[in-house]
Every structure is written in structure tokens, then in C-alpha cells.
Structure 1
């Protein structure tokens, strides 16, 4: 039973990441990579628009009300550590890096939060 729930959650997460990637594309972003793993954690999407490279955490919840609790300091710290490891791979001279979050819930447009991490 727990294994089936884990697989369903994994599939829902992948769908949410695909939706977020399409949302970003519609907004003029180019997706450079998805589900990039590092020893420090994973970044769901890496996207570029102009001179900005965004390392994006995607969160999907069953309701919009649950989105307010989908992201926390601990999770952002892990994404920030993974981002630090990935910057040399994706960010070139003259480009700026930032961490964004895209929040998704059924029946709602995606909510794109920009530059969510300033460090500790």
C-alpha cells in the first residue's frame, strides 16, 4: 500500500514538473534541464531567460490552501545547496542565478515565486 502511494506521488510530481516547464516556456523561458541530482539534493528545473538562470523547485498540492505550506526553509536550504553545486555547470559569465518556486494546485494558474532564497 505504501509503495503504491509513493509511486502515485512520484507520478504526480513528474506531471507537476512537466506543467511547470510548459508554464515557463509560455513565459519565454528555455528549459535547460530537469530533475538534476547532486550529492546535496535535486533541482526540479533549470531554466534560462535572457541573462537569468533560474533553479526551480516545483510543488503540487491537492488544494490552493495547502500551497502556503508546501515550501519551507529546510527544503529551500537543500535546493540552495544543490544550486550551488550546479552553478558552474549552467551559469555563464554575465548571467545571474536565482532560486524560484512554482506552486501548482488543481483549477489554479501556476504561482511563480521569484528569487526566494537569499541565504542564511
Structure 2
């Protein structure tokens, strides 16, 4: 898969993840928020929780375990810190989540995938 195809598949995965979250009761606040410090694929709210979400797609489910690493999560966390005030209200809980996706598999959400100091 070339870079353009990978980018297109990533966008499709983000779209699917957003719909899956909606079915779980989340409201999508933003998609593909890009900053110099990092990128957040989805920003979603459910009740008093705002999640900054990294979506990872692999064509083989066995590769999902290696799809996310500390470096990537730090970038998402830095971006979330920069934009958090735009989406969160006083008293909201903020978290960094990951959604892992592969063909023929239900999305897998890892809530609180990154904790400060981790």
C-alpha cells in the first residue's frame, strides 16, 4: 500500500470510528485536529468525559498490537493539552483513548491509553 492509499484508509477508519463512537453514545466534537505539537484524530464527548482519540487501522488484526506506541501517544497528549480548553468544560474528565481497527473485526477502544507521566 502506498502513502496515498494508506492516508485514504486512515481517513476511512477515522470515519468508521466516529460512527462507532456515536452508536456508543459519544458526540463527535472534532476530527483531524492538526497542530505543530501533534494531531488528534477524533475529539469526542460523553457526559462529563472528553476523549482525545488516536485511531489506528491495520489490514491485519495481528499487527494492531504494534500500531500504537508511547511516542505516538505523547504527540496526541501534547495536542490534547493544547486544545483541551476549547472542548472541555470545568469539571470535565479528559482522557487519551485509542481505537484499533482491522477488517472483519469490531473496533477496540482502549480508554485512558495514556496517563500523564507515563
User: Normalised by the shorter chain, which TM-score bucket?
Assistant: over 0.9
Q: 3-state DSSP class of the match of 2:78?
A: helix
Q: Indicate whether 1:103 and 2:100 are aligned.
A: yes
Q: Indicate whether 1:47 and 2:44 are aligned.
A: yes
* TM-score normalised by L of structure 2: 0.96
The one of 97, 107, 116 equivalent to 2:113 is 116
* TM-score normalised by L of structure 1: 0.95
User: CA separation in 2, counterparts of 1:73 and 1:119?
Assistant: 11
The one of 13, 34, 37 equivalent to 1:37 is 34
Unaligned runs of 5+ in 2: none
User: CA separation in 2, counterparts of 1:87 and 1:98?
Assistant: 10
The one of 7, 14, 32 equivalent to 1:17 is 14
Would you identify which runs of 4 or more consecutive aligned residues in structure 1 move more than 4 Å?
none
CA RMSD after TM alignment: 1.0
Unaligned runs of 5+ in 1: none
Aligned positions, number? 117
